[in-house]
Amino acid sequence: MSAAERERLPDRRSAETFDLEALGLKFRATIGRHPNGEIGEVFLSNHRVNSMAGIMASDAAVLCSIALQMGASPETLLHSLMKDSAGRATSPIGVVLEMIVGERDHG
């Protein structure tokens, strides 16, 4: 079995940071982009250092980043995550992916 190759980001890259709320908690997200503008990494942190919510959000962001670098689209990742009864993402990583997909749709 051959392993797919991960598309690493350059050392210097475009990034944007913003705050969001998910599950009634506040988070800060940073999105790193490839030179072509595509999303290549996501970082998530919670305002409470070492909180379980922060740890889980950070771990989800790492897995999301690896999936993006392996060729998964934000749309595919978002489609796979839990939603509320109105069809909106509920997790911090889901909220970030909704913002990314919405940016692409309205971009």
pLDDT at 87 over 90: yes
32 three-class SS: strand
Residue 7 counted as domain residue: no
Residue 3 counted as domain residue: no
In the DSSP assignment, the letter for residue 83 is B
Q: Per the structure, how many domains does the chain have?
A: 1
The separation between the first and the last C-alpha atoms of the chain, rounded to the nearest angstrom, is: 38
Tell me the pLDDT tens digit for each residue of 17-64.
999 999 899 999 999 998 988 999 999 999 888 899 999 999 999 999
The C-alpha angle 107, 78, 19, rounded to 5 degrees, equals 65
Torsion of CA 80, 74, 13, 25, to 10 degrees: -50
Residue 43 counted as domain residue: yes
Residue 9 counted as domain residue: no
pTM: 0.87
**Full domain range(s) for residue 61:** 15-106
Residue 34 counted as domain residue: yes
User: Around Cβ 107, how many Cβ atoms within 10 Å?
Assistant: 6
